[in-house]
Structure 1
C-alpha cells in the first residue's frame, strides 16, 4: 500500500513539474516568436499593490494571477550578494537606513519590507537566487535596474537553470553593451531601452534592429510623428517585438494605467498601446490588464 501511495505521489509531482516546464516554455516561445499574437503582461515590481514591491510574495501573487513576466531591480550587498531593491537606499521600502552595499546579506535580512501604504510587514529583502528558484519553470523575469551586474546575473541564471527565462535590459548603446559583455551577450536575452523622442533615437533603433533583439522597450513622452514612425519601423522589421510601459504618462504619451482604470478609458490607454504594435506591456495593474486582453482575444 505504501509503495502504491509513493508511486501515485511521485507521478503527481512529476506531472506538476512537467506542466510547469511546459508552461514556461510556451512563454519563452511567445517571447521569442515575433509572429505570436499573444500579448505578454509584465508586472512592475511584482504585485506591489497587494504585497511589498520586489518581494517573494509579490511574485507569488503574479504567478497565481497568470502574469507572464515580473520586473525586478537588483543591488549588491557588501559581501557580494545580489538582492532585490529598486532605490539606492533601503530607507523607503524597509525599516532600515542606508545603501544595500552598507550591509552584509545577514545584516540586511534583519530589516523588514513595507507595503504600498508604508506599513511594516514580516517580509524580508529576497536574494536574486531566491527569486530565480521561486520563478523557475513558472514565469519570466525582467532584470530592469541591474545591468551593472550583467555577468553576475548570467552566472546565477546558469547556476539555477533559468537563463532562458530571464531578460536583461539597459539604455546603453549597442557598442557599449557588446564591449562590456562580449560573447555572454549571445547567451542571454538582452533588451535595449530606447527613448523614441530623443534626438538620436532613429540611429539607435537602426543599430539594434541590425541584430534583431527579441524586443525593444520603447519610451516616449509625446505622440510626435517621428515616434509613431519609429514604432512602425520596429513593427515592420518582423523580427523584433515592441515593449511599451503603461506605468505613467511620461512613458507612453499619456496612454497609462490610471487612464485605463481610474478614468475608465482602457481603449484609449491599453487599446492605443496595442494599436502601435506592442506585444509586451509593463503595468502596475496586472489583473485589470489581463482581463482587458482576455476580452480582446489577445491571450
Structure 2
C-alpha cells in the first residue's frame, strides 16, 4: 500500500468514524450533533433576544442543565451534551461552600447527587471538588462539582443561563460573579418575589431578571417597585397561564417561561411531544423542561414550519 493511499484511507476512516459518533439515538429518534450557539455580545443583545414580538423564536430551557443517564444535573459536561441539539437556555442552581465559593448544586445536601454527604455550606470547596457527581440513576460519573465561574466561562457565545440562587446565597455574590466573567450579556437571575426582583435590580440595573408572575397583580407589584419591563422575563408557573395573562405580558414585551417539568412533561411523554407545540401556540415562549431533547425536537419542527429565525442563533 503506497503512502498516498494510506493517507487517503486513514482520512476516510476517521471521517466515517467520527461522523457516526456525532449521532446518538435518544428516545428512539436519531439526532445529529450540531451545536447551536446563542451569540450575544452585549446586554442590549440579550434585551432584544428576550423581548416578545409576534415572530418570537420559542426556546427550550434545560432544567438543571438537562440531566440524563451518564450526565448529572448541574454539570458542565451535561450542559455541553444538551447544547449539542438546539439553541438553548440552561437553568442551573447556585449554592455556596463553607469557604464562600459559588458552586452549582440544587440540593442543600450532597447525598443525592454526589458521592459525598453532608451539607454544602458546611463543606470546604476543596472537599467538594474531590466528590464525583451522580447521574439521575444514582450512578457515579467522573464529573466534578463545577463553580459558577467555570460555568459562566464555558457558556459565553453558546447559551443563555437562568441562574437559580438558592437560599443563603447573597444575590450580590452571584452578580459579582456575572460581572467578573463579563457574563451579563447571557445571564438571567431568577427571583421569586417582587421584593427579590427589586433587590436584584437595585444591585445591578442592567441585569435581566426572571420574575415569578402568575397574575396581573404580580406584574403590577413589579412596576410599583420600579423594575422595568425590559429587564424581565416572566415565569408563569408549572401549569398553563390564562390567555389573558399571556396577552398582558406579551403586551408589555415580556416573554413567558412555562415550567413543563412535572405534569406537563408527563403529558407529553404519554400523549406525544406535539403537546409542547400546543403550549407554545397558546402563549408560552420558553419551555423549562426535564425533556429538552424531545421538547426541542418538537419546537424545532414548529420553528421550521413557521419559518421562525433569530439573528442571535448560529
* Number of the residue aligned with 1:264: 271
Please state whether the residue corresponding to 1:74 is helix, strand or coil: strand
**More relative contact order in 1 or in 2 (CA 8 Å, sep 6+)?**
2
1:110 and 2:124 are equivalent in the alignment? no
Q: 1:21 to 1:124 in 2, by over 3 A?
A: closer
Please state whether the residue corresponding to 2:130 is helix, strand or coil: coil
Which runs of at least 4 in structure 1 moved beyond 6 Å after TM superposition? Answer: 19-22
Q: 1:264 to 1:205 in 2, by over 3 A?
A: same
User: Matched residues in 1 for 2:40 and 2:185: separation?
Assistant: 9
Q: 1:37 to 1:22 in 2, by over 3 A?
A: closer
TM-score, L = length of structure 2:
0.76
CA RMSD of aligned residues (A): 2.5
Aligned residue among 45, 62, 66 for 2:82? 62
Q: 1:246 to 1:181 in 2, by over 3 A?
A: closer
Contact 1:46 1:62 in 2 (8 A): yes
Please state whether the residue corresponding to 2:170 is helix, strand or coil: helix
User: Matched residues in 1 for 2:298 and 2:46: separation?
Assistant: 22
Contact 2:277 2:302 in 1 (8 A): no
* Number of the residue aligned with 2:172: 151
Contact 2:192 2:211 in 1 (8 A): yes
Contact 2:201 2:207 in 1 (8 A): no
* Number of the residue aligned with 2:3: none
User: Matched residues in 2 for 1:56 and 1:133: separation?
Assistant: 10
User: Matched residues in 1 for 2:298 and 2:57: separation?
Assistant: 13
* Number of the residue aligned with 1:246: 260
1:194-218: CA deviations, max 9, x gaps?
3x3xxxx331122336721431000
Unaligned runs of 5+ in 2: 1-34, 310-314
1:141 and 2:161 are equivalent in the alignment? yes
1:228-267: CA deviations, max 9, x gaps?
4222321233x11111111112xxxxxx12222x213333
Q: 1:286 to 1:30 in 2, by over 3 A?
A: farther
* Number of the residue aligned with 2:209: 190
Residues 225-236 of structure 1: pairs in structure 2 closer than 5 A: 227-236=242-251
Q: 1:281 to 1:176 in 2, by over 3 A?
A: closer
Residues 143-222 of structure 1: pairs in structure 2 closer than 5 A: 143-146=163-166, 148-173=169-194, 175-178=195-198, 180-181=199-200, 183-194=202-213, 196=214, 201-208=215-222, 211-212=228-229, 213-219=231-237, 221=239
Q: 1:181 to 1:221 in 2, by over 3 A?
A: closer
User: Matched residues in 1 for 2:154 and 2:240: separation?
Assistant: 38
1:35-80: CA deviations, max 9, x gaps?
2521121101112014011011111112222242111001100111
Bigger proportion of residues as helix: 1
Report how many residues are paired. 262
Please state whether the residue corresponding to 1:234 is helix, strand or coil: helix
Residues 85-96 of structure 1: pairs in structure 2 closer than 5 A: 85-96=105-116
1:79-116: CA deviations, max 9, x gaps?
11000110110110011111111111101111111111
* Number of the residue aligned with 1:81: 101
* Number of the residue aligned with 1:273: 279
Q: 1:47 to 1:188 in 2, by over 3 A?
A: same
Please state whether the residue corresponding to 1:263 is helix, strand or coil: helix
TM-score, L = length of structure 1:
0.79
* Number of the residue aligned with 2:294: 288
